Amino acid sequence: MRNKKQTAHRKFTISPRLRYGAMSTAIVALVIAALILINLATTNLETRYGWRGDFSFNAVTTQSETTKQILRDLKRPVKIYALFERGEEDQPLLELLNRYSAASDMVTWEQTPPSLNPLLLTRFSSSTTNVSAQNLIVYCEETDRYRVLTATDFVTLSVDTDSGSYNVSGLAYEQQITSAIAYVTRDTVPTLHIATGHGELGEDSLSSFTTLLTNNHYDVAFEKLSDMTFASGDVLCILSPVKDYTDAEMDIIRAYVQGGGAVLFSCDYTDPIENMPNVLSLLRSYGFLPESGLVMASPDETDTFYNNNRLALLPEMQATDVTLEMMLNGRTTMLMVASRGFDPSPESDNSLLVDAVLTTSAKSYLVDTTASRLSITQSDSDKTGPFALALQSKRFTDTGDVSRAFIIGSSALLTEEQLFTMTDGEEFLVRAVSFLTGDDSIDTSIMVKTALRPGLSVNALSLGSVVLVGLPILVLLAAVIILLPRRNL
């Protein structure tokens, strides 16, 4: 009996099948454990250093050199709150946030479900800002400044001039986040002083423009000229007045521009500019020569107006300080409705540089609205284009300073949100204000990433496509080469 137990025990302990099976199981377990550890380690390293490659068709999580430079120059810590419930995350956005934190120790972020932290929503909400789920809050404690980014901030729309519809064309994740970081960390914020008291555009009509400004690094104040106090980088806004300024008010303006102050003008075709000699003199001092009448597009040029409305002009963008980056990025769609025209080629001299920014075609014409005219059909006496619809100016003062000015011929670009959110007008306005402030510290030229995957074509073949097709073919050929000789054995 004892010999049988010893024999069984010997067979159990020396069984090759059992021994090799146990060894194989142990090896598999060790390999799995090693793979798990490697995966955890690489995930942690990728999150910390941003090593993961971006092979998406639009490189949506790849940072531009502009963003990298801003992150390298950061001197104040920034905290980003991603308000997403678990399971409802915007993965490309969170991946991009990982890259921001990996690129700079000054940037940290955390996902905060709104249902678990409602006080955070209350803390950053205001009368003009409503914080909700799927928003980002970019906050700098040292400046106590913050920016709330919504889902609509991350998409851009383009207009289809044939159908009259608007389509999602781009993703602006990086552009918006980098702009927000630059805003909340900057030392000072320029103020746009919007003049009141002469029938100018008011707070209600400019609410969309005001929101655009506050969302893009600027403060806004509606004031009488006599109450204004200007700091370096501030801008005076004279937006479509209907009453002339007094001589005393003109003295305030002259003193301001003589010291290098900047002015933003709007001048509608309905403004009685001929009855406002002081305002007209100020415009002419910058080389802005307004035409009398309403600019109409020619019916022969259907690509120069929108949706069969010849008052809705699609102007041509010229290469200037304001527009050069926009043109390089292909963002040139502008819509100017019921616009006044200006002389497109005013004379410049040694102390004045004037450039047309938006222009019409040579076939456009002016309709005299002062006469009892019932038709907008072109007549032989109508003045023909081209006309400038927007201009920029630099005037060198006696003190050696440079006073900048910008004018648009349609205040609808400032009052109608659709005109600048559905076209490239939003970037146009922000760049115009940046030109006036002389502010080059925040570069908004980060390109928007395309939102639509391009269609497949022979010319669209990439290395990835070649590998995807070629690798299985190579494996099949290798199998044939190996197995074919064995078939003859």
User: Is 3 part of a structural domain of the chain?
Assistant: no
User: Is 21 part of a structural domain of the chain?
Assistant: no
CATH number at residue 64: 3.40.30.10
**Model confidence pLDDT, tens digit, residues 250-277:** 999 999 999 999 999 999 999 999 999 9
Same domain? For 200 and 179 the reply is no
Q: Which residues lie below 8 Å from residue 171, measured CB to CB, with a gap of 6+? A: 58, 60, 92, 154, 155, 156, 448, 449, 450, 451
| Contact call for residues 183 and 74 (beta carbons, < 8 A) | no
Closest to 438 (Cα-Cα) out of 394, 474, 472, 473: 394
Please report which confidence band the pLDDT of residue 423 belongs to, taking 50, 70 and 90 as the band edges: confident
Please report which confidence band the pLDDT of residue 7 belongs to, taking 50, 70 and 90 as the band edges: low
User: Is 16 part of a structural domain of the chain?
Assistant: no
DSSP string covering 136-184? EEEEETTTTEEEEE-GGGGEEEEEETTTTEEEEEEE-HHHHHHHHHHHH
- Strands 336-337, 365-367: pairing is unpaired
Number of domains composing the chain: 2
Computed over every residue of the chain, the mean pLDDT equals 84
Same domain? For 342 and 365 the reply is yes
User: Is 86 part of a structural domain of the chain?
Assistant: yes
Same domain? For 165 and 281 the reply is no
Same domain? For 109 and 242 the reply is no
Choose the weakest-confidence range: 115-124, 178-187, 327-336, 471-480.
Answer: 471-480
Please report which confidence band the pLDDT of residue 45 belongs to, taking 50, 70 and 90 as the band edges: low
Same domain? For 183 and 230 the reply is no
Burial class of residue 258 (count of CB atoms within 10 Å of its CB; 0-12, 13-18, 19+): middle
Specify which of 22-26, 309-313, 476-480 reaches the highest per-range mean pLDDT. 309-313
- Backbone φ, ψ for residue 2 (5° rounding): -65, -35
Same domain? For 426 and 286 the reply is yes
Q: Which residues lie below 8 Å from residue 45, measured CB to CB, with a gap of 6+? A: 51
Measure the CA–CA gap between 107 and 120, rounded to whole angstroms.
19
Specify which of 25-34, 53-62, 190-199, 328-337 reaches the highest per-range mean pLDDT. 190-199
User: Is 44 part of a structural domain of the chain?
Assistant: no
Using the predicted structure, report yes or no on whether residue 61 has a pLDDT greater than 90. no
Measure the CA–CA gap between 478 and 466, rounded to whole angstroms.
18
Helix axes 65-72, 173-185, angle to 10 degrees: 20
Measure the CA–CA gap between 117 and 271, rounded to whole angstroms.
51
For residues 417-424, give the mean pLDDT. Answer: 80
Q: Which amino acid is at 127?
A: S
pLDDT score recorded for residue 3: 56
pLDDT score recorded for residue 126: 75
CA atoms within 13 A on the CB side of 49: 7
The three-state secondary structure class of 124 is: helix
Same domain? For 175 and 202 the reply is no
For 48, other C-beta atoms within 10 Å of its C-beta total 11
Q: Residue 314 sits in which domain range?
A: 191-438
Measure the CA–CA gap between 257 and 260, rounded to whole angstroms.
5
**Cα–Cα distances in Å, from 429 out to 67, 268, 329, 415, 417?**
22, 17, 16, 12, 12
For residues 365 and 371, the model is more confident at 365
For residues 15 and 80, the model is more confident at 80
pLDDT score recorded for residue 20: 59
Measure the CA–CA gap between 208 and 206, rounded to whole angstroms.
6
Please report which confidence band the pLDDT of residue 441 belongs to, taking 50, 70 and 90 as the band edges: very low
User: Is 378 part of a structural domain of the chain?
Assistant: yes
User: Is 229 part of a structural domain of the chain?
Assistant: yes
User: Is 422 part of a structural domain of the chain?
Assistant: yes
Same domain? For 398 and 301 the reply is yes
CATH number at residue 318: 3.40.50.880
Per 3-state DSSP, what percentage of the chain is helix, strand, and coil (rounded to 5)? 40, 20, 40
Burial class of residue 201 (count of CB atoms within 10 Å of its CB; 0-12, 13-18, 19+): buried
Same domain? For 338 and 362 the reply is yes
Using the predicted structure, report yes or no on whether residue 462 has a pLDDT greater than 60. no
Same domain? For 168 and 219 the reply is no
Using H for helix, E for strand and C for coil, what is the string for 383-430? CECCCEEEEEEEEECCCCCEEEEEEECCCHHHHCHHHHHCCCHHHHHH
- Strands 235-239, 191-195: pairing is parallel
Measure the CA–CA gap between 47 and 95, rounded to whole angstroms.
9
Q: Which amino acid is at 216?
A: N
Same domain? For 293 and 396 the reply is yes
Same domain? For 183 and 196 the reply is no
Rounded to two decimals, the pTM is 0.69
